[in-house]
Structure 1
Amino acid sequence: MAFKIKGSHVLAIALAGGLGLWMMAGDVKIGGQSDNGESAVPIAEREAERSAEIFKVRHVPLMAQERQQSVLVRGRTRADAVVTVRAETAGVLEKRLVSKGQNVKKGDLVCVIERGAREASLAQAKAQLAQAETEYNANAQLKKKGFASQNRLTALRAALDAAKASVASAQLELERTEVRANAAGIVQDPIAEAGDMLSMGGTCVTLIDNDPMLFTGQVSERDIGRIATGMEAEVKLITGDTATGTIRYIAPSADAQTRTFAVEIEFEPGSGVRDGMTAEARIVLDAGKAFRVSPSWVTLADDGTIGIRIVKEDNTVAFVPVTILSQEKDGFWVTGPSEGDRVITLGQEYVVAGEKVETAPDERYAGKLAAAEGLQATGTAQ
């Protein structure tokens, strides 16, 4: 049977012949040395030449800016005091002379309790006092004439003093039927109604002392050392209204559970702030120097320290640790660098401290260099 040559066989023979001719004409390189005697550059040398090339980075100079610092405190408003005007004697409330929302001054009559038998008790005590005075005076005259003993006169004197005490007690009990405000304020619930039976210590009316009004909140232990009594604060109410005040009290010890310190801010007179409103206070601190940097400029050292990489005068890289004071939507406020440090804005992740670099100003931030100093980068994030 005749052997039939297929097209695939021809193609295979052609490929094999071409491969053989290429192998006969080419150089075989073993260990960096070709078989024709020409030497190739070792890999180590090629990598050394590549690493010797100076890396290019871009930078901008840092200039400190005045930063107005503040402490934000969330809390609520409250009256300086809520005073309960209580009855000092038991009885039926005959009438209440004030109503809710009414301003009351200290000493104003607010409630009257039914006098009942108290007037009769006072009259009886006064009658007994008159009788005791008469008996004492008569026996005092007899004593001078020798017709009364000293013991008798002493007993009558004691009876006279007891009668005076009874009158004073009955008078005081009668006066207690008139309940007067022991502080100034505005009447609010709870209040008693006419006809109510008041026990001793029962509530007649409740007064809210809104002069002054206060803001109370909690300050973290991290910020407590930055504020002091007498500092001003701006309080923003949930309604959007604002009022100014002054810190009048800072708790000497922290809450055991929250580790925060209670703070009271006293509003200025006539603030119009109501009791029990949600609010937040901003306590303004003294302005300080700080640097604003873009988040992309901040990096980490090998030990996890937060910082930035700068270019020194000899164009070597240095790592500068920073302290982040606050974070805003367009960057960080930090301290740690020095005025005029050239922070690397492009390429900082590819260089290490001590490495020599080729530098160029970062034109992307040219529009944000402050004109006052000629070259001042605000460092606002793009």
Structure 2
Amino acid sequence: MDNGAGVPGPSSKRTKESSRPMPAWSLALLSALALAIWLATGTVAHAPPPPAEPANAALEVARTRVRATLSRVTRVAREIRIHGALEPRRRVTLRAETTGVIEQLLKERGARVKADEPIALLAEEDRQARLAAAERDVEHQQAELAAARQMHARGLQAETQRLAAEAALAEARAERAMLAAELARIRITAPFAGVLTARPVERGSLVVRGDVIAELVDDSTLLAVAQAPQQLVANITIGQTVQVHLLDGRTVTGRVRYVGRVADEVTRSFRIEAEVPNPDGHLPGGLSADLVVTAGEVEAHALGPSQLTLDDAGRLGIKAVDGADRVVFHPVQMVQARADRIWVSGLPMELRLITEGQSLVAPGEAVAVVGDPVDVSTEAAGGQH
């Protein structure tokens, strides 16, 4: 049915709506989106790929750099070093053997005396007079005994009277000997040559039996004394030569004269004594000393003192690098020591010893080893003797 020419139909209406222009903001949005897509695809398509980093670059940066040297064992003399001190071979305290007053002091403290030389004298008092009386009594009893024997021989006296005269003479002689010994006790003498280290009495002091008069030390020979650990004492024998190193840098030679056979109850160590000649008296007693005894040969590595370290358990040792460049701690035992070189045992025949940077790394840590390994066994061998 015809709707009439002047009335528009539905299709005509849709055509007009579709031909209507888009809003300005829609066009701007579409343009921006298209530009972004083009830039993104263009950049991805034409940008060069980033340079590939080495797979282990991060690992190398993280590893601590250390320097290591190749160390091999050498044969060296095994030294047993024990800390000790010098002591006088003989020391005696001189005491009064009788009661009396100090009349003379013949030696001062620090004086050097000879054997049997007098040091002090007590007042004689009546000792000499009593000894003289005892001498006369002995003479009298001798005369009495001679007469008794004559009378007995003639039958004028009984046997008992002769025996009584003999007993009286023996008693008089005993009294004389006792008084002579008492007189000798007022003279205090040195039993051996040495130095007076103490003299606590003065002239006029009253002393009784047992009081200290002086102390005498024989310093012609000193004893280097130390306590050897039980794991080392079997290597020390009487007659062995000992090098005694003093703190002032001097070194003297001695010889072992005594090795204890019973351990100390507290330390479980054994007393060692070595005689050290001191004819000029230039070594005083009491000096600290290190006793060094050589006990055969052993295979050892040479180190610098700074290369020794302690692990968490307090063990002495060194740090080395294994085949995978990881740090390994090796406990060691001291074999020989010098001022600039130390020899230790307990290590493999050959190893890469960390010489620089050992304090910066821990056992098990992977490290970067720099420098060429140098064999240090040859240059160290020259300082072992």
Please report the TM-score for the alignment, with normalisation by the length of structure 2.
0.64
| C-alpha deviation, 1:79, in angstroms | 0.9
Query: Which residues of structure 1 form unaligned runs of 5+?
Result: 20-58, 297-305, 312-320, 352-361, 372-376
Q: 2:344 aligns with which of 322, 329, 333?
A: 333
Distance 1:3 1:64, change over 3 A: same
SS in 1 for 2:332: strand
Specify the code of the residue in structure 1 equivalent to 2:140: Q
| C-alpha deviation, 1:309, in angstroms | 9.1
| Distance in 2, Cα, partners of 1:350 & 1:188 | 61
The CA deviation string for residues 170-226 of structure 1, in whole angstroms up to 9 with x for no partner, is 122112222222122112213432211121122222211102012222222232233
The CA deviation string for residues 24-67 of structure 1, in whole angstroms up to 9 with x for no partner, is xxxxxxxxxxxxxxxxxxxxxxxxxxxxxxxxxxx998743122
Distance 1:152 1:7, change over 3 A: farther
Is 1:129 aligned to 2:155, yes or no?
no
Q: Determine the structure 2 residue equivalent to 1:286.
A: 296
The CA deviation string for residues 80-138 of structure 1, in whole angstroms up to 9 with x for no partner, is 12112222221111112222232222222222211111122112222322332222222
Is 1:152 aligned to 2:124, yes or no?
no
| Distance in 2, Cα, partners of 1:118 & 1:6 | 147
| Distance in 2, Cα, partners of 1:326 & 1:290 | 9
Q: 1:198 aligns with which of 202, 207, 227?
A: 207
The CA deviation string for residues 288-330 of structure 1, in whole angstroms up to 9 with x for no partner, is 223458989xxxxxxxxx998988xxxxxxxxx9873339998
Q: Is the 8 A contact 1:75 1:279 kept in 2?
A: yes
Q: Determine the structure 1 residue equivalent to 2:47.
A: none
| C-alpha deviation, 1:364, in angstroms | 0.8
Q: Determine the structure 1 residue equivalent to 2:60.
A: none
Q: Is the 8 A contact 2:105 2:121 kept in 1?
A: yes
Distance 1:164 1:336, change over 3 A: same
Q: Is the 8 A contact 1:82 1:209 kept in 2?
A: yes
Specify the code of the residue in structure 2 equivalent to 1:154: L
Q: Is the 8 A contact 1:83 1:183 kept in 2?
A: no
Determine which structure has more spread, i.e. the larger CA radius of gyration.
2
Runs of 4+ in structure 1 off by over 6 angstroms are 6-19, 59-62, 293-296, 306-311, 327-332, 348-351
Specify the code of the residue in structure 1 equivalent to 2:228: V
Distance 1:123 1:61, change over 3 A: closer
Query: Which residues of structure 2 form unaligned runs of 5+?
Result: 1-22, 41-67, 309-317, 324-328, 355-362
Q: Determine the structure 1 residue equivalent to 2:84.
A: 75
Specify the code of the residue in structure 1 equivalent to 2:295: L
Is 1:240 aligned to 2:240, yes or no?
no
Specify the code of the residue in structure 1 equivalent to 2:294: V
| C-alpha deviation, 1:370, in angstroms | 4.6
Q: Is the 8 A contact 1:322 1:334 kept in 2?
A: no
- 1:73-222 equivalences under 5 Å are 73-222=82-231
SS in 1 for 2:245: strand
| Distance in 2, Cα, partners of 1:238 & 1:144 | 82
